Chains A and B, each alone.
Chain A
Amino acid sequence: MEQSTSYPTLSAREALDAIGAPVVVFDRVSLAFDEKVILQNVSFTLIKGHTKIFLGASGAGKSTILKLILGLLNPDSGVIWVNGERVDRMTEREMMRVRADLGMVFQEGALFDSLTVFENVGYKLYEELRWPPDRVESRVKEVLGFIGLAEYIDRMPSELSGGQRRRVAIARAMAAKPRVLLYDEPTTGLDPITATTVGEEIIKLRDLEGVSSILVTHQLRDAFFIATHAAVRDGDGHRIVQADEDKSEEAEFIMLKDGGIIFEGPPGDLRRSDDPYLKTFLS
């Protein structure tokens, strides 16, 4: 007698929300500008709720990876999947749908100079999602409270310090509750204390809001801090604690060199690596 096996059927959204679901997939992606090869057969997968941290020398193609995910650039070959949609051949108009579920923190913040902190953070909500004003105000106050800048709501970007600008940029990126956040050098140029504050915001978003993240950085200290710490709820607030080994393995480092990946693994493996280039980079 034939036995039938039944599998639970999931909608695309449910499948992507499931634990272990891939949210960003690069499959043999290559890109060159004229003669200069930027990326060559780069493949990796970002799992829901995890973090990928890209390291590499200047010009190694780290920021290019973020621009490819956002569709600001198209690859020469290879396939890119973001939240279940193939984006490598999408038009600008089609990409708008994918970008609705992505947030990006640019180098230096890229805040709009002519808008206040409130208008910057709420930009996507009132301009693109057309939320009613009271709902926008409530969400903006909520995210500014989350990053500890509620009192700066009416300031202009020129009135903020470098660290505050990065944190407002994080607030702007998270305001529409995207499932994936991309950070381009979020702590570069900041003093160690401010860099730790920005790092804590990234950890909070990952562990308390369940946001998957891709981080591009030169700052090894900040990268290891983000990879090896976790945020836990503590009453009405939260605490940043040392992550256990399982949690630390959810953050993976990827080292880029000459357009390719030369290392991919958790922080412990990176520290223990015998590769001379990695040792030089980490020293």
Chain B
Amino acid sequence: MLRASTEWLKSALLEVQEYVRLCGATAAASVTRPFYYRDLIQQLDHIGVGSLTVVVLTGLFTGAVLALQSGITLDQFGARPFVGRLVSASMIKELGPVLTALMLAGRVGSGIAAELGSMVVADQVNALRALGSDPIRKLVVPRVLAGTLMAPVLTVIADLVGILGGWVIAVFQLRVASSLYWSSVLEGLYPEDPWMGLIKPFFLGFVIVSIGCHVGLRTSGGTQGVGRATTNAVVAASVGVLAVDFFITRLMITLLY
């Protein structure tokens, strides 16, 4: 029992060490040459444009259900017209960044882990090195930069679509006047809230993609290993998103409010 626990702890510490080393190497490679611009553009398109549909649908239904649920609660206080405040504050500060990040963990994190994992087991990563390319620069840097840059953009889109979804429910279901909803949306926000909603996704995007790359590049055990890596990447990235969200929120409340 003790031996098994020690082994587990050693292996967990090794994973953390390798992850930190990958992050360090990625940071260094991001600011030195050579830089693969074409791969960065491909990844911006793949992660950003490719995730648009899932993010829009997530935002739309989240905003709509938020308006639906909060409408019932607000009715108890005769405060139904304030539904816009609740939708905008929840979407911009918390639900937009976190749900977008969780969707990205499912779509992008798993995809990166599977792609890099397949390349590792098929010796393609070694082939890259043999051909003179550094896998960190060629595979990791473009993905991490694209994920870090596109997560805030996708979050803003999810926020806007979510507020729009809330408007549909507020106007057509809850019978709140459209102008009242929109003024309530703006009144519900502190000036610091948009900053909170914009800064968090940078960190969440980085966490998702860097974990996907780390898990993918450490894949072993053939096709079974690729499947395992994909599952591990989604689980680790999802937990990472929720944990990092908590700590960043705590930090930003201290710094901004």
Contacts and interface: CB of A to CB of B under 8 A. Distances in A.
B132 A106 contact: no
Contacts of A96: 132, 134
Contact of B127 (A93, A100, A110): A110
Given A92-B134, A96-B134, A112 B124 contact: yes
Contacts of B122: 108, 110, 113
A112 B127 contact: yes
B70 interface: no
A173 B112 CA distance: 27
B133 A127 contact: yes
B132 A100 contact: yes
B126 A106 contact: yes
A113 B117 CA distance: 13
Chain A interface size band reads 20 to 34
A104 interface: yes
Contacts of B133: 127-128
Interface in B97-129: 118, 122-124, 126-127, 129
B26 to A, nearest CB: 14
A15 interface: no
Interface in A172-196: 172
A110 B128 CA distance: 9
Contacts, number: 52
B207 to A, nearest CB: 26
Nearest to B136: A92
Contact of B131 (A93, A107, A113, A124): A124
B74 to A, nearest CB: 51
A236 B127 CA distance: 33
Contacts of A28: none
Contacts of A113: 118, 122, 124
B134 A110 contact: no
Contact of B130 (A99, A108, A111, A127): A99
30 contacts: A67-B126, A70-B130, A92-B129, A93-B134, A96-B134, A99-B130, A99-B131, A99-B132, A100-B132, A102-B130, A106-B123, A106-B126, A106-B130, A110-B122, A110-B124, A110-B126, A110-B127, A111-B127, A112-B124, A112-B127, A113-B118, A124-B131, A124-B132, A127-B36, A127-B133, A128-B34, A128-B131, A128-B132, A128-B133, A172-B131
Interface of A: 67, 70, 72, 92-93, 96, 99-100, 102-104, 106-108, 110-113, 123-124, 127-128, 172
